[in-house]
Amino acid sequence: MSGTNWGRWGDADERGTLNLVTPEAVLAATQVCRTGKVYSLALPIQREGVPIFDYRGAPQRLSLTSNTDNDRYEPFGAPEGLGSNEDVLVLASHSITHMDALSHVFAEGKMYNDFGAEEYTTAKGAQHLDVAQTASFAGRGVLLDLPRHQGVDWLEPGQVIDRAQLEACRDAQGVELRSGDILLVRTGWLDFFATGDSGYPQPGLGKDAVSFVDDHDVAVVGADNAAIECIPFDDNEFLGVHIELLVKRGVTLLEHLFLSELAADGCHEFLLAVGGLKVTGAAGSPINPIAIG
Amino acid sequence: MSGTNWGRWGDADERGTLNLVTPEAVLAATQVCRTGKVYSLALPIQREGVPIFDYRGAPQRLSLTSNTDNDRYEPFGAPEGLGSNEDVLVLASHSITHMDALSHVFAEGKMYNDFGAEEYTTAKGAQHLDVAQTASFAGRGVLLDLPRHQGVDWLEPGQVIDRAQLEACRDAQGVELRSGDILLVRTGWLDFFATGDSGYPQPGLGKDAVSFVDDHDVAVVGADNAAIECIPFDDNEFLGVHIELLVKRGVTLLEHLFLSELAADGCHEFLLAVGGLKVTGAAGSPINPIAIG
Amino acid sequence: MSGTNWGRWGDADERGTLNLVTPEAVLAATQVCRTGKVYSLALPIQREGVPIFDYRGAPQRLSLTSNTDNDRYEPFGAPEGLGSNEDVLVLASHSITHMDALSHVFAEGKMYNDFGAEEYTTAKGAQHLDVAQTASFAGRGVLLDLPRHQGVDWLEPGQVIDRAQLEACRDAQGVELRSGDILLVRTGWLDFFATGDSGYPQPGLGKDAVSFVDDHDVAVVGADNAAIECIPFDDNEFLGVHIELLVKRGVTLLEHLFLSELAADGCHEFLLAVGGLKVTGAAGSPINPIAIG
Amino acid sequence: MSGTNWGRWGDADERGTLNLVTPEAVLAATQVCRTGKVYSLALPIQREGVPIFDYRGAPQRLSLTSNTDNDRYEPFGAPEGLGSNEDVLVLASHSITHMDALSHVFAEGKMYNDFGAEEYTTAKGAQHLDVAQTASFAGRGVLLDLPRHQGVDWLEPGQVIDRAQLEACRDAQGVELRSGDILLVRTGWLDFFATGDSGYPQPGLGKDAVSFVDDHDVAVVGADNAAIECIPFDDNEFLGVHIELLVKRGVTLLEHLFLSELAADGCHEFLLAVGGLKVTGAAGSPINPIAIG
């Protein structure tokens, strides 16, 4: 494929643009904090009130042990009223706020860095590029708050975000982007979703926006919508922006991020730490990114 | 209960000692980084080679979509060879590397801050003190590497760690503990587990060590063993240290942390960010804490 | 409780009216078959097109092994193209076509035969009256086809079926009911559901119909609706008919039965065999009852 | 493939030898009952004490609702002490006592009747030959009790059962096999498993035994071992008997049947009804076959 990062960090690379986040970049990122306020960029994981695709199933929390299980604790000498609560979770790797592993999308039968699509098997999942490779990172996060810049509550459903819009927002905010940064794009879609009136179309990045990512050597892209890119897809190309960013460039993607609190505080620059579940073989993970303002 | 933090931050408090982690403390924590190296403190989530309790079940990653599902992508105009991989996860909230929510343990029919044990119900889980309350935090982490200090590979199975051992290690390392810090105690148990020869007993904190936590106003305690505390329990008191720390004081606990890499680097002071899954009603969550050295 | 079968088969009984299905009754039931046609009374288990309550979750079939897993089979000497497909199922015990165990409902803190409601615990489920006790039975099935008798496609949503309607239908069909029989009541509700226009209310048994069950010493009651009884509940008494039949009398209940094929054939008498999943501790099970006409 | 039933019942056939079970055969089967005693041929579904393969996971019953959920029932006007218990089940389609769908095994890239192995996809499972096609049947069951005939408690682990052994047992028992019968072979393996001393090898059918199935036009084969066939596989051919019976002939297989009670009663001829879960797309199902003696 053309215009790619395949081979850029060697034939065995499974981290993609996370390679751009050097220790020096991380150390520099720790210096951008101004308030010490901690932001959680995850929506709650629950069955209602959050965006869920039917085919993924609504997440389930089921009770495993509780205060009804005295007979479990008694053999340990526990008096009545003493015990522990535990749960079992059943949830899609890509449910609600989540990260895409580099094995998430394949095109022309290939995943990032020329790994074959057949390397994701039923029993083992991704034998290369699984989420364990990219689940753990930190760096400088930059929020581009498009609705605020454009003077709207949220971008229109289906609105295609192009390079010019990103540049204008960046300039208006007076924030610069550096190599290895984590770019978070607020479309306002989650606020629209919260009204209960949203449907299938969503605003998001178009293919033209990819060059913005290239120009700044961005390591990670996140957004508050379902798929980073606009839906319906730009030019009706199925997963077109995923192909450009994830498959060709190895850019880790973060979706359904809760960005409203950062936006409300006007916090556009922050340290961001992401610790996804290191599930061997998985093509993604629910996440709770932590930003420090 | 005596010696508790119940009411210390109000009757409605559901965060416990995380209240000690002020924005000022977080901001100060960002200043302790020296190298910018990012550490993941989580073990992989998989069915073998990691510590799993039978009753919790081994975690399962199951395939939801893959490259065999062309018929799913065709309606979107996808050519052959284009598509996405996704998974479904089934895992215990307290499996492998995880955090305990403040609803995890109850004693004398009460959870932290006088919330009744009956507030954890089958259908809803924890209606107070669920993991969503405490899943998101960052602060200054301090590692006390007991095996290195004591000149052993790992502490003895069943070894009770007391206040004196913690103080001696702290002093030998020349690191101080501050209010709101995250205390990580390395026992070496995971290294022993990796040999395949480990059994039921584990080294861990004894009840005497609780005063060490009190003295330093520690916000969070983590360790590389299964339960922070030693097993068999100190004085044969079932979950005795959980009762002291979690129930009485509202101290968030992190278990089965992977601390070997921090230890190998001699990195005893770092910024730590934890973003657990914000599962409404859950009494814990698998985590992947991110440390920045 | 009054009007109950508690103690009728001893204080330890966990089978309720299934005790009425004697070997003699079963042997007699084998003699009612006329055609040898085999009927499945279960709806398919799938995520769409069948009645599912949100809180139970739609059932999930997930792939465990498939033809993508050559690496699993090769160690056994398998050539390419040889292997096996397997799945993992996640489904509610009471999803779609299912049976209620006698532990399914409790009233005044008691389950059938004076077992305390507290015997269903989080970790173990039902320690008495679990579905394993009642999952396996066979007997003479009798279908009362109310819509056909009343000359409608289906009974009205919310329609309360009383004793008189059951008697009239029985007499019109010319079928008698015997001690130990399995009574299947067709309301037509599944046909209404199939139109896509159904809502919350359903036709079903009212409290007056309970005496019909008593008079005939019926062992099991099944229907094509969600809960045997009408919804909204008769007299607005929550689970009123469940309390009468399941809790007081120990009558096993079968719900969401697919009765249309039996009805279309005018097959009102048949041998019925039910083999529910014998899940230790469960309060119910999905079933696929087999009728032989 | 040679020696197959492919095309025998048309190119679209998805039922295989179940086509041999005509209504006449079923009706005749109802006439073999002598006692009316009902036998469940399923082991309990639980996490311990039953044969479980690690990769399938131990089955989990998790609590969904219980007597702790008063707040769920109150909106319906339920008084305290009234409510319902429900569960969620997580279990492998092929766990413990189960049936293989005709899509379970593929060889040379083909499933039964020339359906391609690629028809089992990750998202949808088996698009042909799923378990819904074969889950529901009844017929005449014949038990060949090999350990009793051979005068042992159980056949030796790894023992290969050939045609001659089956014939000798059949003749000694004085039972004949008819077209469309369900052949159940007792090896005694579950009794050996119950001692806790069993390992990997199991007694079971060898390839020579296939001709016995052919000669009698058997519709279904069941056994008390894990895979009908012996383990290690006869001639070291991976799934060799599955290929002959399931793939080539379309013979439905039932595994881990509990046959001890039938054997103890000397009940060698009976009506058998099987109602597996009709899970759309699944390659198998847990079952609880009901035999009537």
Q: CB B122 to CB D68 under 8 A?
A: yes
Smallest CA–CA distance, residue C80 to chain D, in Å, is 7
Smallest CA–CA distance, residue C59 to chain B, in Å, is 13
Best of B47, B63, B122, B128 to disrupt the D interface by mutation (most D CBs within 10 Å)?
B122
User: Band of the pLDDT at B138, cuts 50, 70, 90?
Assistant: very high
Find the closest chain A residue to D125 by CA distance.
A122
- Residue identified by tokens 């029919």 is B109
Q: Which residues of B are less than 8 Å from D69 in CB distance?
A: 121-124
Find the closest chain D residue to B70 by CA distance.
D121
Smallest CA–CA distance, residue B280 to chain C, in Å, is 15
Smallest CA–CA distance, residue B55 to chain C, in Å, is 9
Q: CB A121 to CB C54 under 8 A?
A: no
Helices (H) and strands (E) in chain D, counts: 8, 17
Best of B93, B277, B287 to disrupt the A interface by mutation (most A CBs within 10 Å)?
B277
Q: Which of D62, D67, D68 sits opposite A64 (nearest CB)?
A: D62
Q: Which of B55, B64, B68 sits opposite C62 (nearest CB)?
A: B64
Contact by Cβ (8 Å): A130, A174: no
Smallest CA–CA distance, residue C59 to chain A, in Å, is 9
Q: Which residues of A are less than 8 Å from C106 in CB distance?
A: none
Residue B26 has phi, psi (to 5 degrees) of: -65, -45
What is the pTM assigned to this prediction? 0.97
pLDDT of residue A2: 57
Q: Which of D62, D90, D123 sits opposite A63 (nearest CB)?
A: D62
Q: CB A62 to CB D66 under 8 A?
A: no
The length of chain C is 293
- Half-sphere exposure (CA, 13 Å, Cβ side) for A180? 17
Percentage of chain D lying above the pLDDT 90 cut: 97
Q: Which residues of C are less than 8 Å from B67 in CB distance?
A: 68
pLDDT of residue A145: 98
Residue B166 has pLDDT above 90, yes or no: yes
Q: CB A57 to CB C58 under 8 A?
A: yes
Smallest CA–CA distance, residue A44 to chain D, in Å, is 20
User: Band of the pLDDT at A1, cuts 50, 70, 90?
Assistant: low
pLDDT of residue D1: 52
Query: Which chains does chain B touch, 3 or more C-beta pairs < 8 A?
Result: A, C, D
Best of B67, B106, B121 to disrupt the D interface by mutation (most D CBs within 10 Å)?
B121
Q: CB A62 to CB D62 under 8 A?
A: yes
Smallest CA–CA distance, residue A94 to chain C, in Å, is 15
Query: Which chains does chain C touch, 3 or more C-beta pairs < 8 A?
Result: A, B, D
Tally A–B CB contacts below 8 A: 333
Smallest CA–CA distance, residue C54 to chain A, in Å, is 9
Residue D15 has phi, psi (to 5 degrees) of: -115, -15
Q: Is B74 exposed, middle or buried (0-12, 13-18, 19+ CB in 10 A)?
A: middle
Q: Which of D81, D279, D283 sits opposite C86 (nearest CB)?
A: D283
Closest C-alpha to C57, from A100, D122, A269, A62 = A62
Q: CB C38 to CB D23 under 8 A?
A: yes
Best of D47, D72, D121 to disrupt the B interface by mutation (most B CBs within 10 Å)?
D121
| Positive/negative CA dihedral, D63, D68, D69, D73 | positive
Q: Which residues of C are less than 8 Å from D85 in CB distance?
A: 103-106, 120, 125-126, 283
Smallest CA–CA distance, residue A142 to chain B, in Å, is 17
pLDDT of residue A121: 97
Q: Which of D30, D79, D279 sits opposite C30 (nearest CB)?
A: D30
**Distance between CA A6 and CA A251 in Å, rounded?**
11
Residues of B engaging C, defined by a Cβ cutoff of 8 Å: 55, 60, 62-64, 66-68, 88, 90, 122-123
User: What number is the average pLDDT over the span B107-111?
Assistant: 97
Mean pLDDT rounded to a whole number for chain D: 97
pLDDT of residue D188: 98
Return the structure tokens found at A75: 């053999």
Residue D3 has pLDDT above 80, yes or no: no
Q: Which residues of C are less than 8 Å from D282 in CB distance?
A: 61, 87, 89
Q: Which of C55, C62, C122 sits opposite B62 (nearest CB)?
A: C62
Q: CB B122 to CB D54 under 8 A?
A: no
Residue D270 has pLDDT above 70, yes or no: yes
**Distance between CA C198 and CA C201 in Å, rounded?**
8
DSSP E strands, chain D:
38-40, 60-65, 83-84, 86-92, 98-100, 105-106, 120-121, 125-126, 136-145, 160-161, 182-186, 204-205, 220-223, 252-255, 269-275, 284-286, 290-292
Mean pLDDT rounded to a whole number for chain C: 97
Find the closest chain A residue to D63 by CA distance.
A63
- Half-sphere exposure (CA, 13 Å, Cβ side) for A213? 34
Q: Which of B63, B68, B122 sits opposite C62 (nearest CB)?
A: B63
Residue B188 has pLDDT above 60, yes or no: yes
Angle at B92 between CA B259 and CA D67, to 5 degrees: 140
What tens digit of pLDDT does each residue of B38-84 get?
A: 999 999 999 999 999 999 999 999 999 999 999 999 998 999 999 99
Query: Which chains does chain A touch, 3 or more C-beta pairs < 8 A?
Result: B, C, D
Residue A113 has pLDDT above 60, yes or no: yes
pLDDT of residue B3: 67
Residue B178 has pLDDT above 80, yes or no: yes
What tens digit of pLDDT does each residue of B113-136 get?
A: 999 999 999 999 999 999 999 999
Residue D190 has pLDDT above 70, yes or no: yes
User: What number is the average pLDDT over the span C169-191?
Assistant: 98
Cα-based torsion angle of the residue sequence A261, A263, A268, A273 in order, rounded to the nearest 10 degrees:
30
The length of chain D is 293
What tens digit of pLDDT does each residue of C23-68 get?
A: 999 999 999 999 999 999 999 999 999 999 999 999 999 999 999 9
Q: CB D125 to CB C61 under 8 A?
A: yes
What tens digit of pLDDT does each residue of D91-130 get?
A: 999 999 999 999 999 999 999 999 999 999 999 999 999 9
Q: CB B57 to CB D57 under 8 A?
A: yes
What tens digit of pLDDT does each residue of D9-51 get?
A: 999 999 999 999 999 999 999 999 999 999 999 999 999 999 9
DSSP state of A272: E
Q: CB A288 to CB B66 under 8 A?
A: no
Find the closest chain D residue to C26 by CA distance.
D36
Residue C126 has pLDDT above 80, yes or no: yes
pLDDT of residue D2: 57
Closest C-alpha to C72, from D229, D239, A282 = D239
Q: What is the ipTM of this complex?
A: 0.97
Residues of A engaging C, defined by a Cβ cutoff of 8 Å: 47, 54-55, 57-58, 60, 63-66, 68-69, 71-72, 90, 118, 120-124
pLDDT of residue C18: 98
What tens digit of pLDDT does each residue of A173-203 get?
A: 999 999 999 999 999 999 999 999 999 999 9
Residue A3 has pLDDT above 70, yes or no: no
Q: Which helix (H) or strand (E) holds A91?
A: strand A86-92
Q: CB B65 to CB D118 under 8 A?
A: no
Best of A35, A50, A85 to disrupt the B interface by mutation (most B CBs within 10 Å)?
A85
Find the closest chain D residue to C293 by CA distance.
D27
**Distance between CA D66 and CA B122 in Å, rounded?**
6
pLDDT of residue D244: 98
Smallest CA–CA distance, residue A148 to chain B, in Å, is 26
User: Band of the pLDDT at D182, cuts 50, 70, 90?
Assistant: very high
Closest C-alpha to D122, from A124, B133, B205 = A124
Contacts of C38 (CB under 8 A, 6+ apart): C290, C291, C292, C293, D21, D23, D26, D136, D137, D138
Q: Which of A59, A81, A277 sits opposite B117 (nearest CB)?
A: A81
Residue C1 has pLDDT above 80, yes or no: no
